[in-house]
Amino acid sequence: MSAAVRLLTLGGTIFMTEETADGHARPDDLAGARLVASARYGVSVSTHPLANVSSSDVRPHHLRSALELAREAVDAGAQGAVLTHGTDTLEESAFLLDRYWDREAPLVLTGAMRPASAPGADGPANLRDAVRTAVAPSARGLGVLVVFDAQVHLADQVSKASSRSVSAFSSFPAGPLALVHEHDVQLLHRPLPRRARLPGAPMDRLPSVPVLTAGLDEDLGLLDHLPPHELAGLVIAGVGMGHVSPAAMPRLRRLLAGGTPVVVATRIGAGGTSTHHYAYPGSEVDLLEAGAVMAGLLPPAKARLLLQALLADGSTPERIREEFAAYAS
């Protein structure tokens, strides 16, 4: 009989300890093993270590392995899967995995803000809550979820809101999806139906899509030194509702005329991009008329991953527009 939950581990702060000599946190395989062994899950859990790395070192091949192992587990009878992950890029991995997760069972990501050796370490509670969510009847069909500080977040909406607090994650615009209870999760709202998933799994290497940030006296001059053939696409973290300086527009028009997709997000944390409020040079209307795509509610990091995943799948410009239109604000 298979375990109720498959626990896959990629490390992160949850699997780190602080060195007594300098107080710095570093990966510790023994600490991770002790945490997994000592946690009180309430259900049967089997563990598969994938790596013990910081989240800045997580690569698409790690996520591909996690996706394949999670699929195998639920196909063999597991009620769900949990993946531990560092918090710095956890929202990005959750979002990318959700492009491909095509099972009814939940795939739940969690981690910790305090090392395993720290007083008040939050890892054990987060891990327990992630396992509870993975077997929760109300979590089925919701895709990839992030569980942190007893809250459940949708992969599309979650973001890291604090670099220090144990309540590190928040969701925009609807807030957390649910609260974790002992035998189920309490839904706070009903999400919209999930969009169709991409086939397969992430490539080991995603197409090259840099993110450039707009701002005061920033005309995206770096584009003059980036050969267009080396860019599969480009994401702009625009100001306001998705704007750039007028002087940046000739550079973006050259890229777009050459067939390079350009997606414009906003560097602002709430509100998303617009399609119609402003029509001055460098505004969203000007960018749309030049052929750019607006990211809507997606922040720049997630807009980049969606564009990369679509390009890897061979998507046409029309499909790219359609997929981003789902996040219009």
Q: What is the DSSP string of 182-242?
A: SSSEEESSPPPPPPPPPSS---SS-----EEE--TT---GGGGGS-GGG-S-EEEEEBTTT
d(CA 88, CA 55): 6
Q: Within 13 Å, how many C-alpha atoms sit on residue 190's CB side?
A: 1
Amino acid at 55: S
| 3-state DSSP assignment of residue 12 | coil
The closest alpha carbon to 108, from 129, 132, 83, belongs to 83
Q: Encoding tokens for residue 163?
A: 């670099």
Structure tokens at 275: 């399609």
Q: What are phi and psi of 225, to 5 degrees?
A: -115, 5
Domains of the chain: 5-187 (3.40.50.1170), 211-325 (3.40.50.40)
Catalytic residue among 9, 13, 89, 110: 13
**Distance separating alpha carbons of residues 35 and 151, to the nearest angstrom:** 21
How many Å apart are CA 249 and CA 119, to the nearest integer? 52
- Dmax (CA) for the chain in angstroms is 64
- pLDDT, residue 229, reads 80
pLDDT at 158: 97
Tokens coding 287: 């960018």
What are the Cα distances from residue 197, in Å, to 70, 193, 202? 16, 12, 12
Note if the pTM is more than 0.85. yes
Written as six digits, the tokens of 270 are 């709430």
Q: Could you read off the pLDDT tens digit of each residue along the chain, which spans 329 residues?
A: 467 999 999 999 998 888 766 778 888 777 777 777 777 778 899 999 999 999 999 999 999 999 999 999 999 999 999 999 999 999 999 999 999 999 999 999 999 999 888 888 898 999 999 999 999 999 999 999 999 999 999 999 999 999 999 999 999 999 999 999 988 999 999 998 888 899 999 999 999 999 999 999 999 999 999 887 889 999 999 999 999 999 999 999 999 999 999 999 999 999 999 999 999 999 999 999 999 999 999 999 999 999 999 999 999 999 999 999 999 98
Tokens of 145: 């979820």
Which pLDDT does position 262 carry in this prediction? Answer: 98
Known catalytic residue at 84: no
Cis previous bond, 173, omega within 30: yes
